[in-house]
Amino acid sequence: MINRQKDERDDRLERLFAAARETPPDVSAVERNFETRLAARIRESRERKEPWYGWAWRLAPVFVVLTLLLGAWTLVLDPVHPADPGTALVSVAEQVALVDDLTGG
């Protein structure tokens, strides 16, 4: 019984597909002057000015390269790097002491 019902549904679906395939949709109304409307849309999109922030993101790679260059330049200029945070703290403390000595603080 269930199988027969399923067969009927399959058959119905096939008939629906066949009928829908038989006549392709009528697009003649939309085809008329389609190029003219499209050309107007293309012109409009060309004329629409992009806001300043529209292209700002395109500069992101430039900023990335600049940051990398600055980082490399800093490394070349000051290649001495303390190996651990403790050494860094001592180095900062020494610099503070030196500044104090020089300024008489």
Partner 1 sequence: MKEVMPAPQTEKEFVRAALNGDDEAFAELVRSHKAAVLRTAARFARNDAELDDLGQETFMRVYQSLGSYRGEAPFGHWISRITIRACYDFLRERRRHEKDVSLDALEYSVADPASGAAFSSGQARLILERGMSKLKPSERLIITLFELEDRSVREVAALTGWSETLVKVRAFRARKALKRSIGGEDDK
| CA dist list (Å): 41 to 14, 36, 38, 55, 69 | 40, 9, 5, 22, 43
3 state DSSP class of 25: coil
Is 98 a binding residue for partner 1 by CB under 8 A? The answer is: no
Q: Which of 1, 4, 25, 85 binds partner 1 (CB under 8 A)?
A: 25
Q: Which is nearer to partner 1, 33 or 103 (CB)?
A: 33
Enumerate binding residues for partner 1 (CB under 8 A): 2, 5-6, 8-13, 15-27, 29-31, 34-35, 37-39, 41-42, 45
